[in-house]
Structure 1
Amino acid sequence: MKLRRPHRPRDFRLADSAQQIVGGFLLAGPFVVTEEVWDLAANMHILQSLTLVAIVFAIGYAALYKADTTREPDDEQEVAGIPIRFISLMCVTFGSVTVLALLFGAPETFLADETETTSALALITFKAVTVGSVFSVVGAATADSIFAK
């Protein structure tokens, strides 16, 4: 009879988030400052944006745990049953696009003539963030996987 050591989750480090941030910002930038993205967002239905959110979650999960066969979600530290690495990836993905959009003043630049209310500006900005996040998640997850130990 072979005794097994208790399972210890893989530590999630600040360096892991830093790697995700580099990749997330790298691929988010070009989409935040592209007028076509803001035109798309202005004409998208909210259901399309919510579908993009689901796609971003699926891409992120697949990139972290399906494409990288050495990593298992059960081997990671968790919060409420969700791996911290995945939570970090989603925060970085959506956060990097949002931060860049606001720092560059993209909503005001691209939507100045189209929106009359703050809520309309916020909604279109949300939709543009979902578009940019499709690309940001690829960069963030790739950087996380490339530099993983």
Structure 2
Amino acid sequence: MKRPRALRRPQFRVADMAQQAVGGFLLAGPFVVTEEVWVLAAGMNWIQGAATAGLVGLIGYAALYRADTGRDVDDEPDLIGIPTRFVSLMSVAFGSVLLLAMLFDAPETFLVEAGIGDGAVWATMAKAVSVGAIFSVVGAATADSVF
């Protein structure tokens, strides 16, 4: 049953993305600078990395459209069939971790210094970003839903 229009949350706004970014960066930071995350990512195979990225999407979708009863996926504007709010959430979740990793030079610090070759650095970084995004998406979705 849909809520009357007056009781529903407003459509997705730029302010919503800013709220997501605050929550995403807040929870992404500690995982970017933790060596164990990078060692864990180095030991993961590509299937585990892809499954981790998929888990981020599942958590994000559930947090936005299943846990929050005031939001209906059918009422959201979309980009090529994907709700704009969800696209924003995924961009923030993965982007915040990637940006912090690059700003802090984490791949060089944790991977190159450990002797992981150049080709494996990019693959390992993608897996480490997916691991960090699990936590970032929780912060981003929470900030979007609460504020």
| Superposition TM-score, scaled by structure 1 size | 0.90
Partner residue, 1:49? 49
The alpha-carbon deviation at position 120 of structure 1 amounts to 1.2
Match of residue 31 from structure 2: 31
Letter in 2 for 1:124: T
Report deviation, 1:46.
0.8
Q: In structure 2, how many angstroms separate the alpha carbons of the residues matched to 1:140 and 1:132? A: 12
1:11 shift after superposition: 2.8
1:85 shift after superposition: 0.2
Partners in 2 of 1:12 and 1:68 — Cα distance? 14
Give, in angstroms, the shift of residue 44 of structure 1: 0.5
What do you get for the CA RMSD once the two structures are aligned?
Answer: 1.5
Q: Name the structure 2 match of 1:115.
A: 116
Q: Over residues 1-49 of structure 1, what are the superposed CA-to-partner deviations in whole Å (9 max), with x where a residue is unaligned?
A: xxxxxxxxx5321101000000000000000000000000111001001
- Give distance in 2, aligned partners of 1:133 and 1:41: 12
Structure 2: where are the runs of 5+ without partners? 1-9
Amino acid at match of 2:53: V
User: Kindly, what percent of the aligned residue pairs are identical?
Assistant: 62
Q: Structure 1 unaligned runs (5+)?
A: 1-9
Moved more, 17-26 or 106-115: 106-115
Compute the TM-score of the two structures, normalised by the length of structure 2.
Answer: 0.91
Runs of 4+ in 1 over 4 A off after TM superposition: none
- Structure showing greater radius of gyration is 1
Per the TM alignment, residue 79 of structure 1 is displaced from its structure 2 partner at its CA by 1.2
Alpha-carbon distance in 2 for matches of 1:116, 1:141? 35
Aligned match of 2:129: 129
